[in-house]
Structure 1
Amino acid sequence: MVSEEPGGWIHRGDPFATPEADRSPVRRLRGRLAAGITVWTAYGPRGPVGLTVSSTVVADGEPARLLGLVDDESALWDGLTAGRFAVAVLAAADRQVADRFAGLMPAPGGPFREGDWVETGYGPVPVGATWAGCRVDGTRPYGWALLVEATVEVAELGASLPPLVHYRGRYRTLSD
């Protein structure tokens, strides 16, 4: 439904969204599972690269493991082939970081140009972030992406801030 308001047209929904009848039930199921937003970074052949990733699972153990689904056509993929990467947990205030690394927001000069970053042996991470340094153990095609299996070699805890989550196609924050 569209209504005319002073200054232009206002849409009650996303005018570009796939009509509900045409949406995949599996994709809709996945959308109803809240997922934490992370940024994976690595050092590629031409410098640091990164990607927003919500398909991330961490398994405690000896050694701790991390699994994730990554688009093999992303700039991050070139960096992952070097065998090491960092995963930073994004906080509620990091929506623009998530959008820049997802390619949804302009990033003149690259996504690392904005904000404060710390260089690590795995990839750059936002200053003060909770992050993990990982070693790639293997990759394989898995559904629409590549499954990355990794060993967590370093885990650094930053401030305990409410995480940014993805739920039903939008970024959300947790509230008690």
Structure 2
Amino acid sequence: MMSGQLIVITGPSGVGKGTLVHKLLERYPNLHLSVSATTRLPRAGEIDGKDYYFVSKEVFGQMIQEEKLLEWAEFAGNCYGTPRIAVEEKLQQNISVLLEIEIEGAKQIKQTFPKAFRIFILPPSFDELDHRLRQRGTETETAILRRLERAKEEIALKEEFDRQIINDDLETALTALIKEIESII
């Protein structure tokens, strides 16, 4: 990794972005994973500053006004965004930065960082996505249905991204992801 590259991993909720990113970071510890800010409450085991920066809606609004976010979006009633300064510092140090973000934010990154490489992770099927969301056991039926409806809209946008990878088999998807990243760093 000789130069800093901004790499965006996105896709519908439940598609396996987090698992792929975790496996990728195991193999490439020099990649820097950006920590997002969010207005949602922490889930069991999540640590402020490691998993997310958990902030109030007021603080998040101030970050937007002061242009301290590269991107932000509201999703499932909560706001999520990427703090600008940490990403810019790493890129200036020639460290590649990985963003695992929602699709709305990934679309915004095209405007704020046109040279960012954006990868869209797809489920093997809509039925499998439904199964994965339910298998988590972390959300209400209403929230799952909302995520599935949004997933239909998001999948329709896949062609707007530089590459698409289907996460049918974890190792196959990881191999494809590594190949794409190695081609740009």
Superposition TM-score, scaled by structure 1 size = 0.24
Greater helix share, 1 or 2? Answer: 2
Greater Rg by CA: 1
Greater RCO structure (CA 8 Å; 6+ sep): 2
Superposition TM-score, scaled by structure 2 size = 0.23
Greater strand share, 1 or 2? Answer: 1
